[in-house]
Amino acid sequence: MTTLLHIRGLHVELLIDGALRPVIHDTTLSLDEGEALGLVGESGAGKSITVWAIMRLLPPGATVTGEILFDGAEVLDFDREALRRFQASDAAMIFQDPTTHINPVRTIGDFLTEALVTNNGMPAGEAEQLVVGILEDVGIGDAARRLKQYPHELSGGLLQRVMIAAALAIKPRLLLADEPTTSLDVTTQAEVMAILDEQRRQRGLGMVFVTHDLELAAAVCDRIAVMYAGFVVEDRPADSLHERARHPYTAGLLASRPSPTERARRLSAVPGRPLAAFEVEEGCPFASRCPFVEERCEAEKPQLRELDGGRVRCHRAEELRGQLTSRSKERRMADRDQSGVTALAEATLPAGRPGGDEAVRVEGLTKVFGGRRRAGGTTVVKEVSFAVSPGGALAIVGESGSGKTTTARMIIGLERPTAGRIFVGGRERTFGRVGSGERRRLGREMQIVFQDPYSSLDPRQRVRECLDEMLRLHFRLDPEERAARILELLAQVGLDERHADVYPRALSGGQQQRVAIARALASQPKVLILDEAVASLDVSVQAQVLNLLADIREQTGVTYLFISHDLAVVRQVSDDVVVMRRGKIVERGPTDNVLDHPEHAYTKALLSAVPRRGWRPVRSRLLDSMSADLAPVSREEEVARAKEAAAEAAEPPSGSHPG
Amino acid sequence: MATEVAISAASDRVARRLPRLGWVAVVCAAFILLLVAVAIFAPWIAPHDPNQVDILAAHEGPSAQHLLGTDSLGRDLLSRLIYGARLSLIGPALIVVIATVVGTFLAILSAWMGGWVDGLTSRVLDILFAFPGLIFAILAVALFGPGLMAPVIALSIAYLPYDARVLRSVALRERSLPYIEACYIEGLPTRRITLGHLLPNILPFVLVQATLSFGYALVDLAAISYLGLGVAPPTPEWGLMVANGQSSIISGYPQESLFAGFMIVATVVAFNLLGDRLATHFSVRGQ
């Protein structure tokens, strides 16, 4: 095989807060013709920057040293014309968010043919023919009609396929995909990845695939390079990654991610938070979080060196060989042990049985947005009923538009149900103008933790002030008692006094989420709603917070209502699960039962779409039709589908709802 | 420890925030502060009594005695500019304070209550939008007689919808953030949520809006004085000085109109640039 791309000693500095700071240190990577390389890492690892550097898309003021050789030619030395040729026909980029990279006022056809016509001088008719063919390759059947549509008429998954088609249309030799499926639902992700993978192989393209999801990368790439704080710390063939991870960080990443197929007693979380490249000082970048750290690691920077068929940047890689694998084996043993126990315990704990002593019970909950009169409006939640017993943990799982978040918002009182009843601690919840006294009473019953930790904290309030305010609101305590309670709360979420007197922006995302949890716990609620509370966290931090949630539940006996799209996370935290699709519950039961033996086709589809060890993205007919179902493509189609659904006698129409 | 690194890196980021406004904003702010100081300490700074008439010394050019020369009645121009800063700045300041305080109140009320309250305030503001500020002020003068207060109140009302509408959208956006929802769920009293959490977080935008309005208010008030509908002569005021000096321009003595006009332009530019930089600064931070 010939080398397509060779990066040697790449060092990048960017202007951050007015100063040039390193974002990539000494990175050496190579990619053969037709090979796929996964660049994996958490936030701040420098994986996207590497791709931007290859494409010469770094912001002005960036300094780049080292070599980027494409087919033997130095990309960094390209003049305007050579760079234009490189960007227009040799390398193509696929971005994370298709909606911001496709001009909203031009049609899909314009978008796809523009580069061909202006750059390659192709006649418009020929370009259109070519594009129709490629759209069919990426699974967009009615191509001729799609070309006339505008971006807003297409769903996110379809748009991402259009973006892939645009990348393929210029017949590049190198594909650069920067988190192409991160903003998509898991089933859509599997679709898009299957298409990308298949097309790349058929065309023999080299690909650099940037993602935070190690399992996803392992499934579609030949080789994986793990990045941490601007360094490549390990580089190894994807198929031997699990057995032969030689860097403690790689092993940590693999162990941090919960599995959808088995429940771990505790996730083996990497402590601390991912460092940014410019925070790295002397020694090994990972030293501050490494469980195997020794003196040498803090003094001397390890070099990337060959080991066991890959490359690794660790002083102790040889000695740790046995220990890294045995640790994960140990974990697996423990898991098996644990899942047996929980399955037994849950057999005696039926979900949703009516009774007076439930922590939360909803009956026939329905929400219609818009359309005050009889007709119109979108039914987002339709006759949903379930119950959670005190101390239980119920997960509501579903993709975007399934109505799971709206359900949670109705229970907590942020949305008013169109129909149905909600009982909290045996008392029916009222809606409309709720006075602050009643809100305060409910606040002691039930609290919520939101997805985005930063915006759920007042940026102008120090952590201590925030907790103090809630304590003053709910309890009669004197200042010393409150101060002591604040420290208690912080300790409960794994923080301490040092974190009390700072503003939220001085904390990392994981720490902010811990503060949000502490605030929710301040009133000692009986029920805690977690609305995608770990979805925006880095994998290693997510594992810490999941462990923390398990601890809190054990200590306080609080009831969890866990809203999530992530089946692996759901498996980890919940006893019972409710699967929602388009506003309706399609399946329910004890979590292990449902996830081990799913009955509804949708649950099966969801489960099979989660990347895990040995997984491959597959295009399924079922998913194809379902994802099309979930994403209305045009107004008339939507109307047609509604009529069709109405014809199904018992089933009145229920539209889908974005977000 | 990693956490300590995080905390220290972030706090020095905060410390470096202010100078990062850029030198343009710093220069403008310094100029404005200087003007305010001059206005306050006018009696100690001004070399002459601004109203001291000396017909023999009329239309003198700059000299050691009169640094900027004299006007048609031989009054010291520098002293008149210095004293003029008082009325010229206090008028717009009053307008801005009234318009932004009431505007912020209406904005928060609309954003928080929503529904018919929001609908009603928005429609009332739409009606106010229909009145051009200057004509509104002239009408007020016609009704209540000239002076400072009539145009100030009229312009405050005229500026209200601009401030209220911009701030309403800011407050609406802020209101929908989870931290406000969290306060609501905890059971904090409405007053505490709106004044203790919502208000402090829209305050930067209130500041921007006030700064930008100041420039417009100054021009409008100067125009009213120029038309002879504001404060009466011989009170020193920049707009009035432009009008007063106009007759002398033909005789070849443009300095009074020129200097007063320059002060108006410089002050307005300083306020607008500062407001513009503040807006950029806060919107970047907001992302």
CB atoms within 10 A of CB A62: 17
Burial A476-489 (b: 16+ CB within 10 A, else e): eeeeeebbebbbeb
Is residue A70 in a domain?
A: yes
Whether residues A307 and A374 share a domain: the answer is no
Whole-number pLDDT of residue A316 = 87
Chain B residues with CB under 8 Å of a chain A CB are 1-7, 9-11, 13-14, 16, 20, 177-179, 181-190, 197, 200-201
Comparing alpha-carbon positions, the chain A residue that sits nearest to B5 is A279
Whether residues A472 and A423 share a domain: the answer is yes
Q: How many CB pairs under 8 A join A and B?
A: 107
Per-domain boundaries in chain B:
75-286
- Domain boundary among the residues A228, A255, A281 is at A228
Residues of chain B with Cβ-Cβ distance to A519 below 8 Å are 182, 186
Is residue A239 in a domain?
A: no
Distance CA A578, CA A282 (A): 49
- Domain boundary among the residues A159, A194, A228 is at A228
Is residue A394 in a domain?
A: yes
Cβ-nearest to A436 among B181, B188, B197:
B188
CATH of the domain at A490: 3.40.50.300
Range of the domain at A337: 246-344
Comparing alpha-carbon positions, the chain B residue that sits nearest to A271 is B2
Whole-number pLDDT of residue A372 = 61
**Alpha carbon separation from A409 to A114, A327, A369, A446, A537 (Å, rounded):** 44, 41, 13, 12, 21
| Average pLDDT, integer, range B236-261 | 85
Whole-number pLDDT of residue A277 = 84
| Average pLDDT, integer, range B25-51 | 89
Q: Report which of residues A332 and B44 the model is more confident about.
A: B44
238-277 in A: which are within 8 Å (CB) of B? 272-273, 275
Distance CA A593, CA A209 (A): 35
What would the DSSP string read from start to end of A571-640?
A: HHH-SEEEEEETTEEEEEEEHHHHHHS--SHHHHHHHHTS--TT------HHHHHHHHHHS--SHHHHHH
Is residue A659 in a domain?
A: no
List the single range of A460-464, B65-69, B105-109, B150-154 with lowest mean pLDDT. B65-69
- Domain boundary among the residues A182, A199, A228 is at A228
**Confidence band, pLDDT 50/70/90 cuts, at residue B59:** confident
Comparing alpha-carbon positions, the chain B residue that sits nearest to A273 is B2
Whether residues A390 and A414 share a domain: the answer is yes
The tokens of A54 are what?
A: 């290859």
pLDDT lower than 70: segments of chain A: 1, 325-356, 371-376, 620-659
Taking the CA of residue A471 and the nearest CA in chain B, the distance in Å comes to: 10
Handedness of CA B70, B74, B76, B81 (dihedral sign): negative
Whole-number pLDDT of residue B14 = 45
Is residue A349 in a domain?
A: no
Taking the CA of residue A447 and the nearest CA in chain B, the distance in Å comes to: 7
Whole-number pLDDT of residue B123 = 93
Are the beta carbons of B51 and B92 closer than 8 angstroms? no
Taking the CA of residue A431 and the nearest CA in chain B, the distance in Å comes to: 13
Is residue A203 in a domain?
A: yes
Q: Which fold has domain B75-286?
A: MetI-like fold (1.10.3720)
| Phi–psi pair at A78, nearest 5 degrees | -60, 135
Whether residues A195 and A67 share a domain: the answer is yes
Q: Which of A92, A82, A53 is nearest to A172 (CA)?
A: A92
A17 contacts chain B (CB < 8 A): yes
Taking the CA of residue B205 and the nearest CA in chain A, the distance in Å comes to: 14
Whole-number pLDDT of residue A631 = 43
A427 contacts chain B (CB < 8 A): no
Whether residues A436 and A566 share a domain: the answer is yes
Taking the CA of residue B23 and the nearest CA in chain A, the distance in Å comes to: 14
Asked if B201 lies within 8 A of A458 by C-beta distance, the reply is yes
A470 contacts chain B (CB < 8 A): yes
Cβ-nearest to A458 among B6, B189, B197:
B197
Q: The complex's ipTM? A: 0.79
Whether residues A218 and A250 share a domain: the answer is no
Is residue A495 in a domain?
A: yes
Whether residues A558 and A426 share a domain: the answer is yes
Asked if A17 lies within 8 A of B16 by C-beta distance, the reply is yes
Whether residues A366 and A334 share a domain: the answer is no
Q: How many domains does chain A have?
A: 3
Cβ-nearest to B179 among A455, A498, A508:
A455
Whole-number pLDDT of residue A331 = 47
Distance CA A38, CA A24 (A): 17
Taking the CA of residue A188 and the nearest CA in chain B, the distance in Å comes to: 28
Q: Report which of residues A404 and B46 the model is more confident about.
A: A404
Share of chain B above pLDDT 90, in %: 39
Is residue A150 in a domain?
A: yes
